[in-house]
Amino acid sequence: MAFEPVFEKISFNCVKKSVSEQIKAECKVEIPIEEISHVINVSAWAVISESSLENGVAEYGGKAVFYVSYADSEGVLRKCERGVEFKGNLKDAEIKTTDRAYFTVSVDKTEYDLNGSKLTVSAYLTVRAKLDGCESVNALSGGENLVVNQNEIQSVKSFGVKSTVFPLEEEFELSYPVAEVLSHRAQAVITAVQCGVGAIIVDGEVLLSAIMLQKNEKSDIIKEIKTMPFRAEIECEEAMPNMQATARVREKSFKTDVAVDEDSGKSVVSAQVYLLFEGEAYSDQTLTVATDVFSTEQEVELIKHDLEYYKTGELRCCTQAVSGKAVTPDLPAGTTLLAVGGENVEIVSKRCDGEKTAVTGVINAVIYLRDSEQKVSTVKVETPFECNIDCPMGCDVEIDLVARAQKARARIISVNEIELETEIAFTVYPHEKSQIKIIGEIKALGEKKKNSCALSVYIPVEGEELWSLSKRLNVCPSALLSTNPELTFPLTGKERIVVYRQK
pLDDT for the residue numbered 381: 95
pLDDT for the residue numbered 137: 86
Short-list 310, 304, 309, CA closest to 438 = 304
pLDDT for the residue numbered 96: 87
Q: How far apart are CA 371 and CA 367, in angstroms?
A: 13
Q: Which residues contact 461 (CB under 8 A, 6 or more apart)?
A: 491, 493
Q: What percent of the chain has pLDDT over 70?
A: 98
Radius of gyration, CA atoms only, the chain: 32
Q: How far apart are CA 222 and CA 214, in angstroms?
A: 7
Q: How far apart are CA 107 and CA 344, in angstroms?
A: 9
124-136 residue pLDDT tens? 999 999 888 777 8
Residue 496 DSSP one-character state: -
Q: Give CA 224 to chain center in angstroms.
A: 29
CB 280 within 8 A of CB 162: yes
The sheet with strand 356-370 has its strands ordered as 336-353, 356-370, 376-389
- Reply yes or no on whether the pLDDT at 232 is more than 70: yes
Range in 187-201, 318-332, 395-409 with the lowest mean pLDDT: 395-409
Residue-wise DSSP of 258-302: EEEETTTTEEEEEEEEEEEEEEEEEEEEEEEEEEEEE-SSEEEEE
In this structure, is the dihedral angle defined by the CA atoms of residues 27, 33, 35 and 40, taken in order, positive or negative?
Answer: positive
pTM across the whole model: 0.84
Q: How far apart are CA 220 and CA 376, in angstroms?
A: 10
Q: What is the mean pLDDT of the chain?
A: 90
- Mean pLDDT of all residues in 17-38: 92
347-371 residue pLDDT tens? 999 887 767 888 999 999 999 999 9
CB 104 within 8 A of CB 18: no
Short-list 425, 436, 306, 297, CA closest to 363 = 425
pLDDT for the residue numbered 391: 64
46-63 residue pLDDT tens? 999 999 999 999 999 999
